[in-house]
Chains A and B, each alone.
Chain A
Amino acid sequence: EAGVTQFPSHSVIEKGQTVTLRCDPISGHDNLYWYRRVMGKEIKFLLHFVKESKQDESGMPNNRFLAERTGGTYSTLKVQPAELEDSGVYFCASSQGGGQRRSPLHFGNGTRLTVT
């Protein structure tokens, strides 16, 4: 079974530019999550999709961030325009749907974003 795949693994852009990160979850996983870790800080939740719907986007920092999951498969996270403080590692995770015994999240290896 293929794990969660993220692309690109690294991205270096200039302040003001746009970057789009992509996440391919494990096949059949309804739940998809975005997290990020900025330098020296803890891993922080950004948002959660159930299929194509946004279940919880309470962690999105501001309206420069736009996440989509068209068709309930892969997801993209766009940052436009990028600012210096957006630098960090962006992780995607997925899990199976529902149930009392919570299905664990499986994480990708992240996209390291550097804004210069």
Chain B
Amino acid sequence: DAKTTQPTSMDCAEGRAANLPCNHSTISGNEYVYWYRQIHSQGPQYIIHGLKNNETNEMASLIITEDRKSSTLILPHATLRDTAVYYCIVRAGGGVGGTSYGKLTFGQGTILTVHP
């Protein structure tokens, strides 16, 4: 799976949009971009994923550049409860078989702190 690069930490004011960047310059055509977050003492929580089109759900929006080498997770109205470590993960897609099928590879992530 392709490697990702994220800033170590970011701050955001409550009520403002949080924009978390991720670089994945070596992503290949069948690899998806996934975002997870981990709030202290809980398991990683799925946020959103996409292949090449922008995606939106009730939690966030995912903007993927046209060349797919980078993406941005947007939390439109950050709250204090959004303080967490956010992980951008590239995951192989399509087909069955191979040792990498299905698994996620976590990096260090971005520590997002939302302050009042």
Contact = CB atoms under 8 A, between A and B. Distances in A.
Contacts of B38: 43
- Say whether chain B's binding surface is mostly helix, strand, loop, or mixed: loop
Given A91-B44, A102-B91, A108-B43, A56 B32 contact: no
Contacts of B96: 98
B34 A104 contact: yes
Nearest to A42: B106
Among B38, B44, B49, B51, max chain A CB count under 10 A is at B44
A98 B42 CA distance: 27
A56 B100 contact: yes
A66 interface: no
Contacts of A43: 38, 44, 106
Interface residues of A, number: 27
Interface in A60-94: 91, 93
Interface of A: 4, 31, 33, 35, 42-45, 48, 50, 55-56, 58, 91, 93, 95, 98, 100-102, 104-110
Interface of B: 32, 34, 38, 41-46, 49, 51, 91, 93-94, 96, 99-108
B44 A95 contact: no
B43 A109 contact: yes
Contact of A4 (B43, B101, B102): B43
Contact of B102 (A35, A95, A101, A109): A95
B46 A105 contact: yes
B44 to A, nearest CB: 5
A35 B38 CA distance: 14
